[in-house]
Amino acid sequence: MKILEFFANFLIVVVLAGTAVGIFAYEGVLESQRDCITIRFRQYERGNPTPNTVYLKKGEKACLRLTSEDTTHALNIPDMGIYSEPIHPGKWTYVYFTPEESGTYSFVCTIVCSPMHSRVRGKLVVE
């Protein structure tokens, strides 16, 4: 009986501690996504990514929150060496980085999304 009680108490502690850890972890994720800039990807024929120009601050952590309104895309900022995971329709993909140099950078799509795929692009302006 003592062993069962001990085991039951142990389980309660694990569940309570796990819940607390989960809540803190989830709040951490929400906090990191609070200031994200949303970019909605679309094929060239359907209007290209929107917004097409994104403004960032030099030396400040940036977060891009990416989604697609048609097919799967992916983001590459060649001059910064930044690649995203695939951006699936209706799902969110996040990219975090800190731009260290001011200037204008192109971002492009890296997944063949239509015959005009190579024209799927936009600009990041770091000020």
Instruction: Give the residues lining the site for Cu ion (CB under 5 A).
Output: 109, 113, 117, 120
Distance of CA 89 to the CA centre of its chain: 14
* Cβ 73 to Cu ion shortest distance, Å: 5
Please identify, using beta-carbon distances, which residue of 28 and 51 lies nearer to Cu ion.
51
Q: 13 — alpha (psi -120 to 50), left (phi > 0) or beta?
A: alpha
Alpha carbon distance, N-terminus to C-terminus of the chain: 68
Backbone angles phi, psi at 89, to 5 degrees: -55, 130
* Cβ 119 to Cu ion shortest distance, Å: 9
* Cβ 88 to Cu ion shortest distance, Å: 13
Please identify, using beta-carbon distances, which residue of 65 and 121 lies nearer to Cu ion.
121
Please identify, using beta-carbon distances, which residue of 124 and 126 lies nearer to Cu ion.
124
